[in-house]
Amino acid sequence: MAETAEMVNPLREGIRLRRTPDPCAMVIFGASGDLTERKLIPALFYLSRERMLPPGFAVVGCARTPKTDEQFSKEMSDGVKKFLHLTPESDAFVEGFAKGLHYVADDFSTPEAYQKLKETLDHLDQEHGTAGNRLFYLATPPSFFPVIVKHLGAAGLAKPKEPGKTWTRIILEKPFGRSLASARELNQIVTSIFDEDQVYRIDHYLGKETVQNLLVFRYANGIFEPFWNRRYIDHVQITVAEELGVENRGAYYEESGLLRDMIQNHVLQLLSLVAMEPPATFQATAVRDEKAKVMRALRPIAPERVSEFVVRGQYVEGFVGGKKVPAYRTEPKVSPTSNTETYAAFKFFIDNWRWADVPFYIRSGKRLAKRVSEISIQFRRVPHLLFKGAGAEGIEPNILSIRIQPNEGISLKFCAKLPGTTMQIRPVEMEFLYGESFGAAPPTAYETLLHDCMLGDATLFNRADAVDLSWELVDPILERWKEDGSTGLSQYAAGSWGPKEADDLIESDGRQWRRL
């Protein structure tokens, strides 16, 4: 019988065990897109190289663009070498991996395409020993999700080939809906054809090593969790900053905006991991239950008070990396009168026993000063300064920083005495870096998430109720912004850290954004 996430605990005493998934075929819809070449196929190659894939494994790329198996394999092999920066010595291994890549070209809005896909999968069961297990990955624009899901159901591909012996799962890329109503409508369609335990709503941020290490940091060490509450923590900052603009995604970004693209999924997921209560076990249901409790406890922001707790901005021309870059409104496929936000800063409160009155400051944006994602825990200042005249009056409070990207790691800032005969105090840092401590850079998020899905471990994937709760939080803000139009839309120079209004948001509380 196929194992599920609830039947098998993937960790024992906090350590993820190395396991090999069941034989399976992975079908990628949207295989001619950028995500497949840049992320998915390189991630699968990594898993293959590390011998974390089963011997019976194959990939089927699906898209409208006409290609042969050989053309698809060649393109994906070139992509693996390019994006993983492989040396020529790896060519033979890449070519061996590419033999398991196949391609089906058709219009996947027609029933005939799914019959062709079904025949291909049956053939791979015989040729590659994929044993009837199927993993469908929807790397397409979200508008295609309902179409593909319905056709998979009609073709008999949504249910296990042999119930009780084989499994079928589906991965849906973000965004899952673009509002609460659309997310619920999409979820109704998906769960009318697939069971909830077959559905994996992916958020690649949750697969990053440092994000996972946040749970280990909190629950595998006895010295931090006793202080992880309102008595000792002054506030929390979460920053997800990008140097890049919208590049060639102007049309998508006009429909999405920063709030839908980053806050509703990535950033709120990070917040829930910081604030969640310890789960009873490290299993999917227990972990996701605690994350959902955080989402329920987040204080809603009333439409009439949005300007008190939220700042939105849009970048104008500026300099990034010494080069002049254009304003958002002059980017390709962007309206010259666009009111779409490329930056947002929030002040959230969590109304529960642990976090009452502790503000969570969040900021995220395009075309900022540098690419960095970090969670910063600032502890309360000491109640009484003993060392007056020693430089203690101006020192910063203790700060625990969890760097998600780049240079993944954790640092702790505390005070120490300078060498010498006088009492002089300065802040110093203890730092842990993945690359230095373990001798290698951590894998990207997709390796972890794809492997977990093959194992049936849903711990790092979003559940339907958490998706609904996040949309319930952001929908009133989006509606208010739509009503306001350009009113309240701040401008900031590309290459800066965002609009002045974001500084005012935190400084009005007597605090400052952390300098990164």
Work out the burial of residue 216: count CB atoms within 10 Å of its CB; fewer than 13 is exposed, 13-18 middle, 19 or more buried.
Answer: middle
Provide CB contacts within 8 A for 498, sequence distance 6+: 311, 313, 343, 345, 363, 365, 368, 492
Q: Count Cβ neighbours within 10 Å for each residue of 339-349 and write b for 16 or more, e otherwise.
A: bbbbbbbbbbb
DSSP for 160-209, written as a single string: -SSBTTB-EEEEEPSPS-SSHHHHHHHHHHHHHHS-GGGEEE--GGGGSH
Rg (CA), the chain: 24
464: its two tokens: 């339907």
90: its two tokens: 């790896």
| Pair 312, 341: CB distance under 8 Å | yes
CA angle, residues 362, 14, 219, in degrees to nearest 5: 45
| Pair 498, 506: CB distance under 8 Å | no
| Pair 241, 365: CB distance under 8 Å | yes
**266 part of the active site:** yes
> Facing residues of 374 across strands?
239, 403
- The verdict on whether omega for the bond into residue 406 sits within 30 degrees of 0, i.e. cis, is yes
Long-range CB contacts for residues 330-339, cutoff 8 Å, separation at least 24: 331/245, 331/246, 331/250, 332/248, 332/250, 333/248, 333/250, 333/251, 333/254, 334/246, 334/250, 334/253, 334/254, 335/254, 338/254, 338/314, 339/314, 339/481, 339/485, 339/486, 339/489
Which position among 128, 151, 204, 266 bears the catalytic label? 266
Amino acid type, 263 = I
**How many CA atoms are closer than 13 Å to the CA of 163, on its beta-carbon side?**
4
Amino acid type, 371 = R
Provide CB contacts within 8 A for 496, sequence distance 6+: 318, 368, 369
| Pair 495, 319: CB distance under 8 Å | yes
Catalytic positions, please?
266
